[in-house]
Amino acid sequence: TEDDHPDETAGFMETRTPVQRHGVVIHRMLEQLTSGQSRAKVEIQLRQEFSEQLEEKEFKRCWQEACAVVDRADFRDFFDPTRYREARNEIPILYRDSERDVYGVIDRLILREEEIVVIDYKTHTRATKENITQMAEDFSEQMRQYGEGARRLWPSKKLRLLLVFTACGGMVELQEI
């Protein structure tokens, strides 16, 4: 959702609830951790970026959560650059579906020879390995729309739709709708 994504306007972080701030920070950290820069450089940059909005304890908690996602062995196919042709972060999509405009931001898009993978991060702290499949149902329409946007750009490739729940390190693959 839009609330999960960073906004460059002044005062953005101050106007958010703690839950929304957490989501914004995790998304930004994952974006930067997968940008190709060294982890040390990313950490320094993000500490500066969030120095006025986050206490050190909260920064560390978010940093550990984001690093744990990128470092998970079972997520390697989505974060190890040797495993795909190209990856893009924070991809805005806009297209017309019947009589309405569809807008969203895909958190991560993986391009391979035969497939595209659309990934959306969910930062719900109540997510557990036991409840994420049920939680994922709430995002099926959002992911269908993201998938449709990607399919319009790469119609011949296989499409995969994944939700990554950052708090518990779980993933749910949605079936195309």
For residue 3, the model assigns a pLDDT of: 43
For residue 129, the model assigns a pLDDT of: 94
For residue 1, the model assigns a pLDDT of: 41
For residue 85, the model assigns a pLDDT of: 95
- Strands of the sheet containing 100-111, edge to edge, are 86-97, 100-111, 115-122, 158-165, 170-174
Query: pTM for this structure?
Result: 0.89
Is the CB of residue 168 less than 8 Å from the CB of residue 75? no
For residue 132, the model assigns a pLDDT of: 97
For residue 19, the model assigns a pLDDT of: 85
Instruction: Determine how many CB atoms are found less than 10 A away from the CB of residue 103.
Output: 12
44's CB contacts (< 8 A; 6+ apart) are none
Count the residues in the chain. Answer: 177
Query: Mind listing the pLDDT tens digit of every residue in the chain (177 residues)?
Result: 444 444 443 355 565 788 888 999 999 999 999 999 999 999 999 999 999 888 999 999 999 999 999 999 999 999 999 999 999 999 999 999 889 999 999 999 999 999 999 999 999 999 999 999 999 999 999 999 999 999 999 999 999 999 999 999 999 999 865
One-letter amino acid identity for 31?
E
For residue 13, the model assigns a pLDDT of: 57
For residue 33, the model assigns a pLDDT of: 97
